[in-house]
A and B are shown apart, each in its own frame.
Chain A
Amino acid sequence: GENVEQHPSTLSVQEGDSAVIKCTYSDSASNYFPWYKQELGKGPQLIIDIRSNVGEKKDQRIAVTLNKTAKHFSLHITETQPEDSAVYFCAASIGGGANSKLTFGKGITLSVRP
């Protein structure tokens, strides 16, 4: 089955700097890659996703890039703010199939220092 790994497990950046969170996946058939943000005491929130037919997707201060050859994808957050502090989860699936499932990474804790 699919295996999704995230590195590093924690990341600390200064407010205003950029943060990059990386994930690797194992199943070359995976074609859907979402990122979730989980704040303390809340459920994971879908913040951006990318499909394998594109290499990059942007939404304001966040972007996701995908390297299918290397089987890794990254979340980029620019001009970080204290409210970006949270746990970020990546996931992968063979999206669209009737039996597809999301496989989640363990999560990375991002801390933005004021």
Chain B
Amino acid sequence: DAGVIQSPRHEVTEMGQEVTLRCKPISGHDYLFWYRQTMMRGLELLIYFNNNVPIDDSGMPEDRFSAKMPNASFSTLKIQPSEPRDSAVYFCASSPFSPGIEQYFGPGTRLTVT
């Protein structure tokens, strides 16, 4: 079975540009999560969805970040405008049962903002 799929795997952009990260969760999983990983902060939960509905976005750093899940097989995380401090690895994860159990992570998108 295919795991969580993320694209692109690497993204390099200039400050001020819009960045869109994409995720396809595991089929049948009701929960989708967006995380950010940095050396300083570790893994941070940004937002999660249940059945395509955003449930908790308290981890979204600021209004420059937005996330959508138009259907059960696709989600996007958008940063507009991007800043150098947004440089990090962004992971998408999905879970079949509950937001607190058995999360399966994608390979991540490494974002570099110059």
Residues of A at under 8 Å CB distance from B? 32, 34, 36, 41-46, 49, 89, 93-102, 104-107
Contacts and interface: CB of A to CB of B under 8 A. Distances in A.
Nearest to A100: B100
Q: Is the interface of B mostly helix, strand, loop or mixed?
A: strand
Contacts of B106: 43
Contacts of A95: 98, 100-101
B43 A98 contact: no
Contacts of A36: 105
Q: Is the interface of A mostly helix, strand, loop or mixed?
A: loop
Contacts of A96: 97-98, 100-101
A106 B38 CA distance: 10
B57 interface: no
A45 B105 CA distance: 7
Interface size class of B (residues with CB under 8 A): 20 to 34
Given A42-B107, A99-B56, A89 B43 contact: yes
Given A43-B105, A100-B101, A106-B42, 12 more contacts: A34-B102, A41-B107, A43-B4, A43-B91, A43-B108, A95-B100, A95-B101, A96-B97, A96-B98, A98-B50, A100-B98, A100-B100
A49 B98 CA distance: 15
A107 B107 CA distance: 17
Contact of A93 (B43, B50, B100, B104): B100
Interface string B83-102: 00000000101000111111
A46 B100 contact: no
26 contacts: A32-B100, A36-B105, A43-B105, A43-B108, A44-B43, A44-B91, A46-B103, A46-B104, A89-B43, A93-B100, A95-B100, A95-B101, A96-B97, A96-B100, A96-B101, A97-B100, A98-B98, A98-B99, A99-B99, A100-B98, A101-B45, A101-B99, A101-B100, A102-B45, A102-B99, A104-B43
A43 B98 contact: no
A107 B39 CA distance: 10
